[in-house]
Amino acid sequence: MLAKMTLPQADSELVRIMDAALADATARAGKWLACRPGCTACCHGAFAINALDVARLQTALAHLRAINPDAADAVQTRARLWWAEWSGEFPGDTATGLLGASEEDQTRFDEFANDAPCPALDPHTGLCAVYDGRPMTCRVFGPPVRMGAGEALGCCELCFAGATEAEIAACEMTVPTGLEEQIAAGMNSPGETVVAWALLPRR
């Protein structure tokens, strides 16, 4: 079961590398990057997160609770409502929050909660309430990224409108997937889950 997770110290180095890579890609992208505070297109739809993402989210939520308990309560209320609405279609184990690994489960996940707003999204400000602890998927969304060797570059559909392939390639963001996988592997997690589950209250 994915209960409360402890954030490994090595994650701070991963986040530092990611932040630097994002800043560099953003500087090179310039006008092509449409990402702005309040743009929430990427804050809708469920996606898989690993134990490292869970620990980062829970750490950020604990920090938010220390400085703004009402905001933290609001996040967890949205997480409870999200889970109540979507758990009936959850392609995995609702008791543990773990996503299923079968081909059928993965096919179902492709159509799961695609339009649902993330519980971390503050509907009043259009900002992420736990931005500093956001998952890696959120940290790479926007600039052109290549998720695997030999794969094509992908970027937010709102960005790089009218850009050529060469202009897009010149703004590629390097993602240290190996380091992330190494740190996550050391956590001995049984599987992946979703953001709402990570943000639910824990006893």
Residue 6 belongs to some domain of the structure: no
By DSSP bridging, strand 92-93 and strand 98-99 are antiparallel
Residue 133 belongs to some domain of the structure: yes
Structural domain count of the chain? 1
117-154: per-residue pLDDT in tens?
999 999 999 999 999 999 999 999 999 998 766 778 88
Residue 123 belongs to some domain of the structure: yes
Range of the domain at 45: 11-199
H helices within 5-164, ranges in order?
11-29, 51-67, 69-86, 103-110, 136-139
Residue 3 belongs to some domain of the structure: no
Q: What is the pLDDT along the chain (203 residues), one digit of tens a residue?
A: 455 778 999 999 999 999 999 999 999 999 999 988 889 999 999 999 999 999 999 999 999 999 999 999 999 999 999 999 999 999 999 999 999 999 999 999 999 999 999 999 999 999 999 999 999 999 999 999 987 667 788 889 899 999 999 999 999 998 888 899 899 888 888 899 999 999 999 76
Can you give the pTM of this predicted structure?
0.91
Residue 4 belongs to some domain of the structure: no
Long-range contacts of 109-112 (CB under 8 A, 24+ apart): 109/46, 109/48, 112/46, 112/86
Cα(185)–Cα(50) distance, integer angstroms: 10
Residue 53 belongs to some domain of the structure: yes
